[in-house]
């Protein structure tokens, strides 16, 4: 926390990994649950993969969970977290931002910590009017120049909080901002114009089939391969997703899910017998299965459709 000399590197690492591409509101209760279940990196390292993946369900970007497990085991094996950016970046799943955050916040090192909030603050402060992706090197130089030699962790957290609460993407509260006297975006009278919005990319569409195999109030679930999309997560069985329209009979329901790089249209179709290893999960206890959002939505869509037909 700001004001402390250092913080627990396990908590800093866990929170930073969880917050990648996920909101604080979504992360906060899950972070507390993780800490209650695995209070130390050693405890997490000793956990079964399936338990960690199940606990992660719903947070998305599941490669983070697999890297979390690998990193915990490596850190536990070496007796603790290294305290420099260079060594931290050698750990599974730790990139430049996370390494800098741990080094600065947990170990008091002088490091330049740049997340999306900090990028926006720096871009507005200096009037950068191109998309962030086109100005990352310049923003890093400017952030480096701002970062103090002592207290870099407190400074980083203050900048992140400033971007999250005051220098927001929409409706920034410039009159409350301590940087407004020197801010070029504020001086322009149109602070929201900085930085320029990222250029829109057209996501391709993929198609998939999920098989609905039900018996005695239970649904057959499998675990996806460890590598690849939703790796290691619980799922409905089915073939790999492709660019071609899939067809295995009339669909019980269809869900559309947007991933980072593509849009998926998933048809849920009835099937008779399991064809691969898995387990029967009671539909009354489906919330305990650790399903990622895609497959939980698919099951909910079938159950909702069934309820409407029965009405």
Rounded to the nearest angstrom, the gap between the alpha carbon of residue 106 and the centroid of all alpha carbons in its chain is 21
Neighbours of 275 (CB within 10 A): 12
Q: Which residue carries 């660019």 as its tokens? A: 243
Alpha helices for the chain (secondary structure H): 9-19, 24-37, 41-45, 49-56, 63-78, 85-88, 96-101, 107, 116-125, 136-146, 152-165, 184-188, 293-310
Of 276, 288, 263, nearest in space to 236 by CA: 276
Q: Which residues are part of the catalytic machinery?
A: 16
Closest Cα partner for 54 from 223, 222, 289, 297? Answer: 289
Buried b (16+ CB within 10 A) or exposed e, 137-168: eebbebbeeebeeebbbbbbbebbebbbebbe
Place of tokens 């099951």: 299
What DSSP character marks residue 237? Answer: -
Q: Is 184:127 a contact under the CB 8 Å cutoff?
A: yes
Residue whose pair of structure tokens reads 């301590």 in the numeric block:
178
Calpha distance 301→311 (Å, rounded): 15
Q: What span, in angstroms and rounded, lies between the C-alpha atoms of 225 and 227?
A: 5
| 83: alpha, beta or left? (left if phi > 0; alpha if psi -120 to 50) | alpha
């Amino acid at each position: 926390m700001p004001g402390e000399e250092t913080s627990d590197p396990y908590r800093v690492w866990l929170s930073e990994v969880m917050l990648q591409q996920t909101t604080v509101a979504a992360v906060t209760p899950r972070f507390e649950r993780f800490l209650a279940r695995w209070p130390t990196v050693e405890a997490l390292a000793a956990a079964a993969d399936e338990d960690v993946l199940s606990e992660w369900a719903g947070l998305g970007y599941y490669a983070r969970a697999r890297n979390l497990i690998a990193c915990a085991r490596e850190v536990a094996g070496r007796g603790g977290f290294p305290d420099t950016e260079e060594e931290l970046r050698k750990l599974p799943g730790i990139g430049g931002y996370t390494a800098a955050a741990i080094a600065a916040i947990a170990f008091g090192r002088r490091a330049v910590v740049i997340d999306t909030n900090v990028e926006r603050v720096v871009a507005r402060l200096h009037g950068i009017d191109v998309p962030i992706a086109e100005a990352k090197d310049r923003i890093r130089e400017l952030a480096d120049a701002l970062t103090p030699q002592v207290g870099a962790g407190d400074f980083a957290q203050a900048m992140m909080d400033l971007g999250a609460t005051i220098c927001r993407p929409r409706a920034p509260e410039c009159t409350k901002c301590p940087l407004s006297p020197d801010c070029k975006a504020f001086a322009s009278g149109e602070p929201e114009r900085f930085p320029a919005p990222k250029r829109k990319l057209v996501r391709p569409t993929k198609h998939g089939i999920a098989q609905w195999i039900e018996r005695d109030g239970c649904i057959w679930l499998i675990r996806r391969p460890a590598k690849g999309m939703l790796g290691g997560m619980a799922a409905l069985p089915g073939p790999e997703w492709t660019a071609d329209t899939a067809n295995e009979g009339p669909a019980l329901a269809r869900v559309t899910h947007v991933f980072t790089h593509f849009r998926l249209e998933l048809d849920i179709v009835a099937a008779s017998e399991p064809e691969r290893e898995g387990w029967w999960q009671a539909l009354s206890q489906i919330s305990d299965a650790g399903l990622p959002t895609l497959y939980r939505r698919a099951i909910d869509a079938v159950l909702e459709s069934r309820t409407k037909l029965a009405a």
